[in-house]
Chain A
Amino acid sequence: MFEQLANVLIYQIGGLSPSSPLGASLHFFVMDTAKIFVMLIIIIYIMGLFRTLLSPEKVREYIRGRSKALARTLAIILGAVTPFCSCSSVPLFIGFVEAGIPLGVTFSFLIASPMINEVAVVLLLGILGWKLTLLYVIAGLTVAYIGGVAMERFHPEKWVEPYVWKIQMGQIVQPAVDTSLRGRHEFAKSEVQDIVRRIWLWVLIGVGVGAMFHGYFPESWIESLSDKDNLLAVPMAVILGVPLYSNAVGVIPLAEAMLIKGVAIGTTLALMMSIAAISLPELLILRKVIRLPGLLLFVSILTVSIISVGWAFNFLGGYL
């Protein structure tokens, strides 16, 4: 459906040839923009109907007092499915600390949350297929698990701003919400507006970069990234991704274009993860609760884990 739309717009009305770089780029851009926005609206709306199932407050209750391994597993899974805006990272961090949840577990949650979310997963399914979606989710969960365990080894408590330990939380309150069908519809509608307003630009940038990649990047340039035996490809992709920041959703079209061009799976996954998981705005927010050395360590650990997972997938790529 979206392909036909792009065919008509670009090749028939626009008169561009599918073999020209401009035609190929614009075709990709139109097709992906239409596809992504339609899917986004449907997914967010449906998720909005099922609100109140999960919130950071509830996650905290599920995790607190559990054994470390169970707590971490829960934190990662719940982190992946719980919607929370990165501006809530600080209260969330303090809330977890206050509940006595180990810092390593909290870090696992903070890594999993931006990398994997329901919107990204459904888009991945629609655009890249179930196999890659599954790989991305497994890769993300693995990085979150390893990352949290590794942070713990360094006793990150010493980098937590002292005021955090002193905060006393009040009784947890959950404001009552309207659970009638009408109330749910209204909420879902406002969620769609809210999220689309927040991420539309990232999506356009992501599709735009993907489209350029699709039409203009010469094969030879990509060869260095696409050779799965080239061990440097993964670290290169990750280092490229660290300063780039996008919502997990905006990364998907770029990944799509890379895969079409023959970049190895592990390299693509590594770039996606580093763009989604490590972002300057998020770090600046976390700086309010963790001192600089702790943050630098956090970034280094994430980088190393993402590179390792990328290598593993490239290595396994032949068998998948």
Chain B
Amino acid sequence: MINIKVLGSGCSNCKTTYARIEKAAQDKKVEITLEKIEDMAQIMSYGIMSTPGVVIDGEVVHAGGIPDQKKIEAWF
């Protein structure tokens, strides 16, 4: 089980990122727990200044912009 967090203040890029990860996990049949972090203090505590950010098992793997399909699949 992979724990994935999408960090973002609810902008459209963040929603797209969330949806893409959700879909990629379904397609690949990977079990994940997906969370949305919208609280600014929490987002900043990960040390990023560009959103959306993606955190996997506590590690920041992406910041700023929508990650592409290949990148997402590489995380699984």
Contacts and interface: CB of A to CB of B under 8 A. Distances in A.
Contacts, number: 90
Nearest to A176: B61
29 contacts: A55-B50, A55-B63, A56-B64, A57-B49, A87-B8, A87-B9, A87-B14, A91-B40, A91-B48, A92-B50, A94-B40, A95-B44, A98-B44, A167-B40, A168-B41, A168-B44, A168-B45, A169-B44, A169-B45, A169-B47, A170-B44, A171-B47, A172-B49, A173-B63, A174-B63, A175-B62, A186-B70, A285-B9, A285-B11
Interface string A189-214: 01100100000000000000000000
B50 A172 contact: no
A169 B65 CA distance: 20
A170 B13 CA distance: 23
A56 B49 contact: yes
B64 to A, nearest CB: 7
**Chain B, interface residues (CB within 8 Å), range:** 20 to 34
A228 B41 CA distance: 50
A177 B3 CA distance: 21
Interface in A81-102: 84-85, 87-88, 90-92, 94-95, 98
Interface residues of A, number: 31
Contact of B9 (A166, A170, A194, A288): A288
A60 interface: yes
Given A87-B14, A95-B49, A170-B47, A186 B9 contact: no
Contacts of B63: 55, 57, 173-175
Nearest to A58: B49
A163 interface: yes
A5 to B, nearest CB: 32
